[in-house]
Amino acid sequence: MRTPIIAGNWKMNNTVSQGLSLVEELKPLAEGSRAEVVVCPPYTALHPVGEALQGTNIRLGAQNLFWQKSGAYTGQISGPMLKDVGCDYVILGHSESRGRFGVEEEGMTEDLSQVFGDTDASVNRKAHAAFEHGLTPILCCGETLAERQAEATDAIIARQVQQALQGFSADQVRQIVIAYEPVWAIGTGEVCESGEANRVCGHIRSTVESLHGSEAAQAVRIQYGGSVKPDNAAELLGQEHIDGALVGGASLKANDFAAIVNAAR
């Protein structure tokens, strides 16, 4: 049986003091959960939050990494740096890191969105670097509203998964977490219907099976992300192919996040 995994992506939120207050409130609420719980603060809060989580059942994750160990890469952060501050997980290929947003960002032209810049190829290199340094990647995939309306969802998802997993062994794939995040549902309040979310997550599992066999496909954990809240978590997490959630806004409130954690069956 796959262990549910609930990860909170804080995105560009919370100072160090705010992050520490949040995890102190969260620790007793998440204690005893049968789900694996992960929080992913911004880089500035990783070290102090990681120290605050020692001895608890909550794991630390980062929101991105660069594939080189060190060097002249201004503004980047490496796998060894993340491991050094206590990270076990790292989110890779999030739609926002790819410059794909679910809501209109004021002044965000196509040129400006390239500041984020991730591609299928860069996500794959980052995933290999994560494994090299003992970090478990949470690999994100998802379609935009235009792609869904064009009935391209399955093709987009299959392409992103196939390219992200290039060069991995079946044993490595078993350890990876894949997060399905329909771009149009991130930060919009829109939620993919639970049945459709389950269908797409099943499509991801079938894609993994075609690449690495049934054992890897049955072992890999697949999350749903996109406006997950306490009032829809149980229905989403009760689906056959959904093994957890990648939570955005609701992870910034301890009670809301704990309610989602506790909804994992």
The per-residue pLDDT for range 30-83, each reduced to its tens digit, is 999 999 999 999 999 999 999 999 999 999 999 999 999 999 999 999 999 999
* Topology classification of domain 5-263: TIM Barrel (3.20.20)
Residue 147: predicted pLDDT: 95
Residue 51: strand, helix, or coil = helix
Active site residue 94: yes
Q: Which of 160-174, 184-198, 199-213 is the least confident region?
A: 184-198
**Domain range summary for the chain, segments of one domain joined by +:** 5-263
Q: How far is CA 113 from the centre of its chain?
A: 20
Helix (H) or strand (E) holding 138: strand 136-141
Q: How far apart are CA 88 and CA 118, in angstroms?
A: 21
In the prediction, which pLDDT does 92 show?
A: 98
Annotated active-site residue in 36, 96, 143, 181? 181
Mean pLDDT value across the chain: 96
Q: Who contacts 257 (Cβ-Cβ below 8 Å, separation ≥6)? A: 6, 8, 26, 29, 247, 250, 251
Among 36, 94, 143, 241, the one annotated catalytic: 94
pLDDT classification of 243: cutoffs 50, 70, 90: very high
Q: What is the pLDDT of residues 81-135, one digit of tens each?
A: 999 999 999 999 999 999 998 887 777 888 888 889 899 999 999 999 999 999 9
Whether 241 is a known active-site residue: answer no
pLDDT(265) > 80: no
Alpha helices in the chain (DSSP H): 16-30, 43-53, 79-84, 110-113, 120-132, 145-149, 153-164, 170-175, 194-212, 214-219, 230-237, 254-263
Task: Supply the pTM of this predicted model.
Answer: 0.96
Nearest to residue 132, comparing CAs of 97, 90, 99? 90
Contact 6, 225 (CB under 8 A): no
Q: What is the pLDDT of residue 29?
A: 96
